[in-house]
A and B are shown apart, each in its own frame.
Chain A
Amino acid sequence: TDRESTHDEL
């Protein structure tokens, strides 16, 4: 499962 990341946040 692709781990949701906070790297798509600023």
Chain B
Amino acid sequence: MNIFRLAGDMTHLASVLVLLLKIHTIKSCAGVSLKTQELYALVFATRYLDIVTDFISVYNTVMKLIFLGSSFSIVWYIRHHRVVRRSYDKDQDTFRHYLLMIPCMLLALFVHEKFTFKEVMWTFSLYLEAVAILPQLVLLQRTRNIDNLTGQYVFLLGAYRGLYIFNWIYRYFTEPHFVHWITWIAGVVQTLLYADFFYYYFESWKNNVRLQLPA
């Protein structure tokens, strides 16, 4: 464990807590893409298949349970909570996220480190996580009015993988044989997808104006 990875995990944890806080306290999911939340639930379900077989540390297991629990409960809130689901804008959240899942699964079947079920599913989760934010970014551009909590959620979610890149650089220089191109490329692509959001997020923060993405 290094400071970059710990900061990344804490930023990731903060992003899910911000979203859960928003949905649970104000009972609204306005501006939140259910599609992205479903993709993230699938990312964690396929990445943490080893939660019962490979014990790495208490920290690792606890964090996996938190990410699994929070992502599935957010999907439940938006789909089934009698108050929250009324604020879900399904006419705007129309990204066909199946078009993301299929290419990721195909790519995982061809480009992976080992051809085993767990490894292919793990690689699928990496590719899927890289593009999981797209429905949310599309929704933000459509709805225009981005409330603070949703903006902070997307910012923290993008920042965590950026911190992981520093973690991979650190591990590359401190651990022998630590070469994982698939993880690194997926992580860089994921972070780059947030580039324009980060730009407008900092602009709005600097000029102290409401965050608005160009249509």
**A and B are interacting partners:** yes
Given contacts A1-B176, A4-B178, contact A10 B183 (CB under 8 A): no
B60 to chain A, nearest CB (A): 7
Report the bound CA distance from A9 to B12 in whole Å. 13
A-B contact count (CB 8 A): 26
Residues of A within 8 A of B183 (CB): 6
Residues of A within 8 A of B12 (CB): 10
Report the bound CA distance from A10 to B61 in whole Å. 9
Closest residue of chain A to B50, judged by CB? A7
When each residue 41-74 of chain B gets 1 if its CB lies under 8 Å from chain A and 0 otherwise, what string results? 0000000001000101000100110010000000
Could you say which interface size class chain B belongs to?
Answer: 20 to 34
B200 to chain A, nearest CB (A): 28
Residues of B within 8 A of A9 (CB): 5, 164, 167
Could you say which interface size class chain A belongs to?
Answer: under 10
Report the bound CA distance from A1 to B176 in whole Å. 9
B41 to chain A, nearest CB (A): 15
Report the bound CA distance from A1 to B52 in whole Å. 25
B122 to chain A, nearest CB (A): 7
- Among A1, A5, A6, chain B packs the most CB atoms within 10 A around the CB of A6
Which residue of A3, A7, A8, A10 contacts B177 across the interface (Cβ within 8 Å)? A3
Report the bound CA distance from A10 to B9 in whole Å. 8
Closest residue of chain B to A3, judged by CB? B177
Report the bound CA distance from A9 to B63 in whole Å. 10
Residues of B within 8 A of A6 (CB): 168, 180, 183
Interface residues of chain A, those whose CB is within 8 Å of chain B, are 1, 3-10
Across the A-B interface, the 10 shortest Cβ-Cβ residue pairs: A4-B178, A6-B183, A4-B175, A6-B180, A8-B56, A4-B177, A10-B63, A3-B177, A10-B9, A1-B177
